[in-house]
Structure 1
Amino acid sequence: MSVSDLIATLILALLLLQAAVRLPGTLRGQRRSRSLSGAFTAFAIAWWLRTGLGRTAVDPLGVNDLPTLLKHVLAIAGICVLLMYVCDVYAEEDTSARHIRISAWIQRATAYASVATVVCMTAVFFLVLDRSKTGKDSPYFIGRHMGDPGLALYMGLFYAYVVAAALVCAYQWGRAARRAGHWSLRTGLTMMSAGMTLIVVYAVMRTVFLSVATLHPLPARDLADQEHITDTVLYAGFLLWLLGSIVPALRALLTRARSIHAILRLHPLWRDLALAVDGIALYQPAHLLRGHRAAQHPCATSSPTTPPPADPPRPPLGD
């Protein structure tokens, strides 16, 4: 397995972890959890198609470069859902602010722009792009279509969409980071904003390279160097975004762990108090393990109860 596939597999695992964490909220019908879970799943499949295993699974369909098209379509779907989520979150702020009005407009236009981009890219892929070359000619999609005007049009549509969406996300997360009250949230939002900025840099670098390569085809060595440099920027951007989205959740997890630890340390004191004062606890402590933290509390019906006092005797009634 190549280094590229290893990094893609790591990113894939992080994306699936994020989707799994939000699965309970998705099953409960929470709209935002469902949106994030869908975005992470779409990104995960797109990154899987970047690996040799993903390409091998799709190649038997008999359509040259089909993994690349599917990868780009899924990436657009994931970006669309993520962008709508971001705009929806920050639209709850002051609606009179200009950036909130712009975000609301972007949220309404995102779905239409995504569908239009996918339709145009698919049309260019099947009708304009020369797909007669295969992976034997070059291991890179750009290298196989170097000098083809259809390549510049196809990738130009994709990168224009990526740049627009990533800029909106980077701006919103960067603005929210400046206003965040806790260090973990501020750190996470800053990392996410920096990750989106790197993805913008990646798309711009690829666009400039494609413009030059379309007019003046470059040797294979320059192509490999470009792929290595831009892929490194893409990996760094995605990892920053993913790790930034995990940081606030880690703080909540640590808080939960500290709370459980405190409860376990208080358990012996609670047990002694419950045994010393009858009726102070709703559930009596179990006798198993003599108060060890692994002891289970019995049900309320099994706890001993004190019988109610008997009614005082009544005096006999006279005749």
Structure 2
Amino acid sequence: MSSCNNSIPPPLIFILAGIPGMESSYGWFSLPFFLIFVITVIGNVTILIIIQLEKSLHEPMFLLLAMLSVVDLCLVSVTVPRMLGIFWMNAKEISFDACLTQMFFIPSFYVMESGILLSMALDRFVAIWYPLRYTTILNNSMLVRMALAILARAVAVLTPAPILAKRLESFQTHIISYSYCAYMAVLMIACGDISGHIVYGLMVIVASVGFDLFFIILSYGFILQAVFHIPSWEARGKALSTCGSHLCVICLFYSPVVFSVLAQILGYQIAPHLQIIIDNLYFLVPPMVNPLIYGARTKQIREWVLRIFHCQKD
């Protein structure tokens, strides 16, 4: 229960506080956020162009990587410009409807990315367990169905968020202590009984990130079982190396979530401004680092990047 002595009706305009308590450092914060945005756009656009041009990359693993790059570009596009507007121009006002829209799209893209990482784990499972049937099982038709399933799940689990938020009848304040409209952040300033909303928020986490992480761990358990039955150490190393990039991306993507959940379970209190910074990094660091990881560990992509730089020097 959240009670208010002087409640206000749902405002037409919310104020995004950005990172409360760090206003004097906004100029410094804006630089890394801007660099993250630029690097993310350049990196993911480069990945998409290389995959399109290089015919040897027209296989399931890299088509899934292209899907990941598209989602990463969408994710930073709906978060970073708003943050930079706050840091550079003090543009803190956001309409109620725009807040609801942001509340849907930001977590939707995050859930889609989690679903794509699960699909990539399935791709590695099929490649190691059924190498001769790999392209038959993961054909273009199956990839389209997987993409539609990822999209449908994100829409299904996140559509209730703006609808439920719209039904909130009163608020303590119109100031959201965040740099974007997060569902839980809006609930924290709402009045009345929000227990049902909190249960819904937990269900979203379990039905998306929790579900995906469980099956990713399960799939890699089967992958390790298959790999350690290979008699040749060289063949084992080669099989595991094909999973290296994906494992790096998985650790980067899920580690902050696991850390945050464990901190709450253990009762560790994180300073509010630090929690907001960490939450921002949930959405910003993986899209920036993903193309760097795959670019460094994938021979064809690495060769294309080196070729581009060589042409520029000439």
When normalised by structure 2's length, the TM-score is 0.55
Deviation (angstroms), 1:178:
9.5
Match of 1:316 in 2: none
Q: Give the AA of the match of 1:73.
A: S
Q: Distance in 1 between matches of 2:41 and 2:306?
A: 27
Distance 1:34 1:43, change over 3 A: same
Instruction: Tell me if 1:179 matches 2:236.
Output: yes
Deviations for 1:79-135, whole angstroms, at most 9, x for unmatched residues?
33443244134314335xxxxxxxxxxx99996576345323211431256497697
- In 2, Cα distance between equivalents of 1:37 and 1:116: 19
Q: By how many angstroms is 1:30 displaced?
A: 5.5
Which of these residues, 152, 157, 173, is aligned with residue 120 of structure 1? 157
Corresponding position of 2:185? 143
1:173-228 per-residue CA deviation (whole Å, 9 max, x = no partner) reads: 9958993439xx83x84454133124323223444677899xxxx9xx93222122
Alignment correspondent of 1:269: none
Are the counterparts in 1 of residues 71 and 109 from structure 2 also a CA contact under 8 Å?
A: yes
Partner of 1:84: 119
Q: Radius of gyration: which is bigger? A: 1
Q: Is 1:21 aligned with 2:50?
A: yes
Task: Give the Å deviation of 1:41.
Answer: 0.5
Name the Cα RMSD after superposition: 4.9
Secondary structure at the residue paired with 2:272? helix
Partner of 1:64: helix, strand, or coil?
helix
Change beyond 3 A, Cα 1:244–1:79: same
SS in 2 for 1:162: helix
Mapped partners of 2:236, 2:150: distance in 1: 30
**Change in 2 beyond 3 A, CA 1:61/1:232:** closer
What does residue 198 of structure 2 align with?
152
Asked whether the 8 Å contact 1:25–1:33 carries over to 2, the reply is: no
**Matches of 1:257 and 1:12 in 2, distance apart?**
18
> What is the alpha-carbon distance in structure 2 between the residues aligned to residue 131 and residue 245 of structure 1?
47
Answer whether contact 1:167 1:196 (CA < 8 A) is retained.
no
The equivalent of 2:254 in structure 1 is 200
| Equivalent residues of 1:195, 1:238 under 8 A apart | no
State the AA in 2 paired with 1:3: P
Bigger relative contact order (CA 8 A; separation at least 6) = 2
Structure 1 regions of 5+ residues with no counterpart? 96-106, 262-293, 295-319
Q: How far apart are 1:49 and its partner, in Å?
A: 0.9
Residues 1-319 of structure 1 correspond to what in structure 2 (within 5 A)? 1=30, 3-24=32-53, 33-53=62-82, 62-94=97-129, 115-116=152-153, 118-127=155-164, 130=168, 136-140=175-179, 141=182, 142-146=184-188, 148-149=194-195, 152-160=198-206, 161-166=208-213, 168-169=215-216, 172=220, 175=224, 179-181=236-238, 186=241, 189-190=243-244, 192-207=246-261, 222-232=271-281, 239-250=288-299, 253-254=302-303
d(CA) in 1 for partners of 2:252 and 2:276?
15
CA distance change for structure 1 residues 226 and 253 in 2, over 3 Å: closer, same or farther? closer
Give 1:120's aligned amino acid. Answer: V
Asked if the contact 1:190–1:244 (Cα under 8 Å) also holds between the matched residues in 2, the reply is no
**Which residue type is aligned with residue 197 of structure 1?**
C
Partner-residue secondary structure (3-state), 1:201: helix
When structure 1 is superposed on structure 2, of 38-47 and 244-253 the one drifting more is 244-253
What is the aligned partner in structure 2 of residue 270 from structure 1?
Answer: none
Structure 2 alignment gaps of length 5 or more: 1-29, 86-93, 131-142, 228-233
